[in-house]
């Protein structure tokens, strides 16, 4: 049975949502500060990209290992360790006086985030009972991540302009310390739910993801991608007990596709606003705010619909929003209202219906001993899809072509939605 956090349960959901918000925020907040970082620390153009990639690669590549560690050492300890590592690395990054120190600190930040993200999801899946309560918690957790991504550009711009690029990192220190204190208050002490570390699966998965994502986003040699895929196959064999759950496997695969669609909205619509409509980074962030607000509303409502409709219907409806919205973006012409606002609202509604539904399906019926691993797998699938999708779509050419490809991917997501179960994953399967 799921464990509860006793009298401090009301503090638990804000804690895990804040942790997820911080993980996703730091993937985006640094982008606006890059020119200032380059001027101060003397980065080369190629080296500057590692300020972003060092975080994204370690985050996406190590979440499987982070999820397994959370199952072994306990979700409370894993969340606290992730927060401590993240805050410490943020302090080092903010005080860095050399390019290599900053890149190294960003990699350690990614490691902390890779431990923190699956731990927050595992806490939800063990502290909230299966059904409506867990679905609502997953909806709030999903919304926190997207809002974190949306807040990156305006927050980074405000901190860099008003203070210094260093505060893009230093701001995490007091927040991390506050969340660390809240973790010890809100989370039960508990005990590890898995006795053996069993590293074969997570290590092959981690190495496979790192090689595959590096090969794609950095244009590495073909052997890196091939070796990565072989290692990922080894991971599937080593952790076949987890992949034996059809819902987990199908939802994980769809989350890969979803990640590419989500990044197509937030990243390329921001670029569209800046390069075509002449918006500043801050104005572009504000221009995306209506879509972010609608996402939060829809993601909050989707869990209430999930037990009645099942995951197939919600994912299919979300895919309709993806397809129509991206097609509108590709073909639209005119000002902000007609060419950006309307279509991004459609896509945001699709994200709000799809993300919490797929996360709930991916973790439904997973016993407590595998909660962290399943959460790591689901989070990894979404993050890896975003990383690979960004790399592929960035080479697609002009915006209309990018959005047409995204519309096609949205249609594909809808066509694959019948692979999800009708009801079981939506209601939350109960397993001892």
**The predicted structure's pLDDT at residue 345:** 92
Closest CA to 387 of 272, 271, 268, 259: 259
Question: For the segment 164-176, what is each residue's pLDDT rounded down to a tens digit?
Answer: 889 989 999 999 9
Separation between Cα atoms, residue 274 and residue 336, nearest integer Å: 11
**The predicted structure's pLDDT at residue 412:** 93
> What tokens appear for 348 in the block?
């945001």
CB contact at 8 A, 153 and 292: no
Note whether 1-190 and 245-432 share their fold.
yes
Question: For the segment 270-310, what is each residue's pLDDT rounded down to a tens digit?
Answer: 778 877 888 876 677 778 788 888 888 888 788 778 778 88
Separation between Cα atoms, residue 376 and residue 358, nearest integer Å: 14
Q: How far is CA 431 from the centre of its chain?
A: 26
For residue 427, pLDDT beyond 50: no
Domains of the chain, by residue range, sit at 1-190, 202-238, 245-432
- Reported pTM: 0.73
Separation between Cα atoms, residue 284 and residue 105, nearest integer Å: 29
Mean pLDDT of the chain: 79
Closest CA to 113 of 186, 51, 57: 57
Question: For the segment 124-173, what is each residue's pLDDT rounded down to a tens digit?
Answer: 877 777 667 777 787 788 778 877 877 777 788 788 878 888 998 999 99
Q: Is 100 exposed, middle or buried (CB count within 10 Å of its CB: 0-12, 13-18, 19+)?
A: exposed
Question: For the segment 340-383, what is each residue's pLDDT rounded down to a tens digit?
Answer: 898 999 998 998 888 888 888 877 776 666 666 777 777 778 87
**The predicted structure's pLDDT at residue 299:** 81
Task: For residue 430, name the pLDDT band (cuts at 50, 70, 90).
Answer: very low
Q: How far is CA 168 from the centre of its chain?
A: 19
Separation between Cα atoms, residue 235 and residue 232, nearest integer Å: 5
Q: Could you name the CATH architecture of 1-190?
A: Up-down Bundle (1.20)
- 245-432 maps to which CATH number? 1.20.1250.20
Task: For residue 53, name the pLDDT band (cuts at 50, 70, 90).
Answer: confident
């Amino acid at each position: 049975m799921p464990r509860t956090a006793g009298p401090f349960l009301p503090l638990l959901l804000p804690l895990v949502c804040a942790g997820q918000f911080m993980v996703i925020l730091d993937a985006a907040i640094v982008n606006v500060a890059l020119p200032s970082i380059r001027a101060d620390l003397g980065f080369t153009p190629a080296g500057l990209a590692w300020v972003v990639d060092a975080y994204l690669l370690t985050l996406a590549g190590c979440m499987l290992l982070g999820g397994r560690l959370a199952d072994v050492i306990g979700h409370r300890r894993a969340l606290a360790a992730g927060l401590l590592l993240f805050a410490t690395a943020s302090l080092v990054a903010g005080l860095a006086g050399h390019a290599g120190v900053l890149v190294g600190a960003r990699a350690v930040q990614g490691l902390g985030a890779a431990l923190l993200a699956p731990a927050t999801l595992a806490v939800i899946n063990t502290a909230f009972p299966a059904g409506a309560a867990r679905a609502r918690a997953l909806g709030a957790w999903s919304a926190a991540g997207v809002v974190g991504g949306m807040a990156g550009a305006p927050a980074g711009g405000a901190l860099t302009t008003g203070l210094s690029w260093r505060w893009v990192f230093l701001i995490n220190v007091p927040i991390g310390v506050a969340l660390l204190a809240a973790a010890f208050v809100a989370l039960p002490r508990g005990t590890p739910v898995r006795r053996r570390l069993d590293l074969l699966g997570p290590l092959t998965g981690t190495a496979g993801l790192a090689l595959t994502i590096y090969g794609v986003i950095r244009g590495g040699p073909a052997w890196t991608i091939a070796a990565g895929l072989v290692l990922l196959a080894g991971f599937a064999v080593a952790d076949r007990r987890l992949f034996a759950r059809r819902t987990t496997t199908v939802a994980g695969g769809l989350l890969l596709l979803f990640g590419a669609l989500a990044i197509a909205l937030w990243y390329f619509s921001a670029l569209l606003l800046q390069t075509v409509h002449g918006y500043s980074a801050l104005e572009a962030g504000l221009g995306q705010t209506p879509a972010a607000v609608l996402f939060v509303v829809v993601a909050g409502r989707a869990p209430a619909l999930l037990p009645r409709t099942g995951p197939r219907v919600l994912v299919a409806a979300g895919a309709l929003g993806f397809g129509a919205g991206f097609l509108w973006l590709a073909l639209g012409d005119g000002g902000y209202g007609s060419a950006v606002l309307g279509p991004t609202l459609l896509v945001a509604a699709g994200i709000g219906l799809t993300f919490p539904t797929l996360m709930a399906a991916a973790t439904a019926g997973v016993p407590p001993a595998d909660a962290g691993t399943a959460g790591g797998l689901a989070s990894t699938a979404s993050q890896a899809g975003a990383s690979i999708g960004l790399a592929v779509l960035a080479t697609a050419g002009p915006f209309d072509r990018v959005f047409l490809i995204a519309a096609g991917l949205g249609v594909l997501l809808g066509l694959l939605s019948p692979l999800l179960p009708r009801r079981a994953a939506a209601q939350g399967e109960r397993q001892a």
